[in-house]
Amino acid sequence: MGFLVVGAYLVVRQVLIRRELEEAAKVLGERVRTGEATSEDYFELGVILLRKKLYTQATKNLEKAQKGWTGEPEELAQVHNALGYALFNMERLEPAINEYKKAVSLQPGYVTAWNNLGDAYEKQKKYGDALSAYKEVLTYAPDNKVANARSEYCRTRLQRTA
């Protein structure tokens, strides 16, 4: 009976999250269509589209957010990271790496962007570059489990190829 209750809770929760995303996308989409969207609106819509795994549409909105960005430069790092994530998921690794690099140049302590940069380098089998990115994560967040595990993996790969 307990499993049934937990299962039902999880299903209802997912439905509510999905509905909330759809409603937010609808409101933001309307602002875009009427020409009233701000760069922040494009960013929010891009993030929603990322969560829905609609990477091509997310990329278009995130690029518009970049072009018209009026917020703080440190916040622009989030736009670069999100765009990098969309490009990474579209297997466009070099442009993704460029976006991650822009993100960490604007906000050097941006742990998520450093981790993402490491992932992109790993996907290219550039284990030395990946290890450098993960080491950077660990300077800001020494207990970061992802960076600890991935840096160990990269060290092993580098030792095997040496």
pLDDT of res. 35: 73
Q: Say how many domains are in the chain.
A: 2
Rounded distance, CA 27 to CA 41, Å? Answer: 10
Sequence-distant (6+) residues with CB within 8 A of 97 are 84, 117, 120, 121
Domain that holds residue 53: 11-71
Whether residues 150 and 103 share a domain: the answer is yes
* CATH number, domain containing residue 88: 1.25.40.10
Sequence-distant (6+) residues with CB within 8 A of 150 are 115, 118, 119, 122, 130, 134
Inside any domain, residue 159? yes
Residue 144: phi and psi, rounded to 5, are -65, 115
Whether residues 64 and 83 share a domain: the answer is no
Q: What is the pTM of this model?
A: 0.82
Rounded distance, CA 162 to CA 157, Å? Answer: 9
User: What are the tens digits of pLDDT across the range 91-140?
Assistant: 999 999 999 999 999 999 999 999 999 999 999 999 999 999 999 999 99
Residue where one domain finishes, among candidates 20, 47, 71: 71
Two tokens, residue 116: 């993402």
Least confident of 18-32, 121-135, 137-151: 18-32
Sequence-distant (6+) residues with CB within 8 A of 70 are 38, 39
Inside any domain, residue 88? yes
Rounded distance, CA 144 to CA 81, Å? Answer: 18
Closest CA to 26 of 3, 1, 49: 49
User: What are the tens digits of pLDDT across the range 79-89?
Assistant: 999 999 999 99
Whether residues 97 and 41 share a domain: the answer is no
Least confident of 11-15, 22-26, 122-126: 11-15
